[in-house]
Amino acid sequence: MKSKASLIFLITYLLLGNSACEKKSGSKTQVRSSEVTTSRSDTQTTEAMPLNVQLTNQAWEAFESGDQEHAISYAQRCIDEFLGSAERKQLQLEKENAAQPPTGAVSDQERKAISELGLLNDVATCLFIKGRCEEAMGHKDEAIKDYQAASKYTYARCWDPKGWFWSPSEAAIDRLSVLK
């Protein structure tokens, strides 16, 4: 049976968010999701997370540990699996002339709206991670392609465990300006 803390995390996760990035912190992992930041043991809840969240988390972890090849592999799997859904959501939001989600600190209502864009958030984040990896490996042309692709997902956001959301699209545009 899972521990009480694991069940609380799982219930909070399922109720509040379905998009994630993660950052390793000692022996615990901080999950950066659209709704909740908490520490958990890697084995406690990974199996309960949606595939997009698992792959994005794995891509972040590999990237942050300097393992670009595995980071690219996890990110590409997320992209391959969920690109169509992300593209449809981006197009729908554009067609509706929806307001761009904010970056920085947000209200609970804004946080909930951002979390509902889970697949879009994770695909854009994975494209950005791929770009960073390709850049680190000296593959400038590939990095540019990944950043250009990420820059198209203007409605995507990623949570930073320091307490704010950032835009993978804007970050990709910043990296493109450095590389070109």
Residue 4 lies in a domain: no
* Count of structural domains within the chain: 1
pLDDT at 4: 36
Residue 9 lies in a domain: no
Beta bridge partners of residue 87, listed in sequence order:
none
Residue 8 lies in a domain: no
Domain that holds residue 164: 21-179
Residue 146 lies in a domain: yes
- Give the model's confidence band at 136: pLDDT under 50 very low, under 70 low, under 90 confident, else very high: very high
Residue 81 has pLDDT above 60, yes or no: yes
Mean pLDDT, residues 105-118: 95
Q: What global pTM score does this model have?
A: 0.78
Residue 47 lies in a domain: yes
Mean pLDDT, residues 58-62: 97
pLDDT at 9: 35
- Give the model's confidence band at 19: pLDDT under 50 very low, under 70 low, under 90 confident, else very high: low
pLDDT at 48: 84
Distance, in Å, from the CA atom of 48 to the CA atom of 95, rounded to the nearest integer, reads 34
Residue 167 vs residues 9, 33, 65, 100, 108: alpha-carbon distances, Å: 25, 14, 22, 10, 18
Residue 15 lies in a domain: no
| Average predicted confidence (pLDDT) for the chain | 82
Residue carrying structure tokens 């000692």: 26
Residue 6 lies in a domain: no
Residue 6 has pLDDT above 70, yes or no: no
pLDDT at 64: 96
Residue 174 has pLDDT above 60, yes or no: yes
Residue 2 lies in a domain: no
Mean pLDDT, residues 149-164: 96
The per-residue pLDDT for range 20-37, each reduced to its tens digit, is: 543 333 323 344 433 333
Residue 179 vs residues 75, 141, 176: alpha-carbon distances, Å: 21, 9, 5
pLDDT at 47: 66
List of long-range contacts for 66-70, beta carbons under 8 Å, 24+ apart: 68/133, 68/134, 68/136, 68/137, 69/133
Share of the chain above pLDDT 90, in %: 72
pLDDT at 91: 98
